[in-house]
Amino acid sequence: MSEEKQPEIEFEHDDFESASFDDELRVDGCCQELLKRFYLYLVGRGMTPEQASELAFSADLYLRDYVVDFARENVSRPQPGIVRRFAATWFITHTLDPEMRILERHLAGVRELYRYLHGQHLISREELDFLEAEAAQTDYYRQRIESFLAIVGDGYFAWEAECPLRG
């Protein structure tokens, strides 16, 4: 007996909107399914399972912990500054020992996730362009990590004001 292939569920922009606790649970489930498909897409493009898993893990931190849980934004309706705030402030302040090489791995996952979302027609070419440009600002993010690690006294507030967590 052959298994009948189930049709792939298409995501809509509203699938990632959250206005209540029940919505948050539903959106989290949609994100988990999206990340599974993202992983399979990467493997289908020729990545090893290990490479795809690393990118999907990095995308998961960004998507579920930052975009959905912290920023409370819809991943399919990205706003300018979302990647910059993640890399320049959120990642640094939510990581025990922020290192540029780890941030670069996360940014690679973020770029690939948004390329996948563009391919799925969930974000536009213009959105992909500004997201990729933000992800490419590695010199700025390196400087942010260095200046964060050098903070003394009440210097955090001036540091955070340069790239506020909230947009």
**53-109 confidence digits (pLDDT tens):** 999 999 999 999 999 999 999 999 999 999 999 999 999 999 999 999 999 999 999
Task: Tell me if 7 is assigned to some domain.
Answer: no
Task: Tell me if 167 is assigned to some domain.
Answer: no
Q: How far apart are CA 130 and CA 135, in angstroms?
A: 9
Please check the confidence at residue 3 and state whether its pLDDT lies above 70: no
Count of structural domains, the chain: 1
Phi and psi based region of residue 153 (left: phi greater than 0; alpha: psi -120 to 50; beta: remaining): left
Residues in the chain: 167
pLDDT-based confidence at 1, cuts 50/70/90?
very low
Task: Tell me if 42 is assigned to some domain.
Answer: yes
Look up the pTM and report it.
0.88
Q: What's the pLDDT at 26?
A: 83
CA dihedral 67, 134, 88, 40 (to 10 degrees): 50
Task: Tell me if 3 is assigned to some domain.
Answer: no
Q: What's the pLDDT at 28?
A: 87
Could you tell me the residue range of the domain that residue 122 belongs to?
A: 13-162
Task: Tell me if 150 is assigned to some domain.
Answer: yes
| Contacts of residue 23, Cβ cutoff 8 Å, sequence gap at least 6 | 17
pLDDT-based confidence at 13, cuts 50/70/90?
low
Task: Tell me if 2 is assigned to some domain.
Answer: no
Task: Tell me if 6 is assigned to some domain.
Answer: no
Axis crossing angle, helix 125-135 with helix 100-119, rounded to the nearest 10 = 170
- Calculate the average pLDDT of the chain: 91
Q: How far apart are CA 160 and CA 90, in angstroms?
A: 10
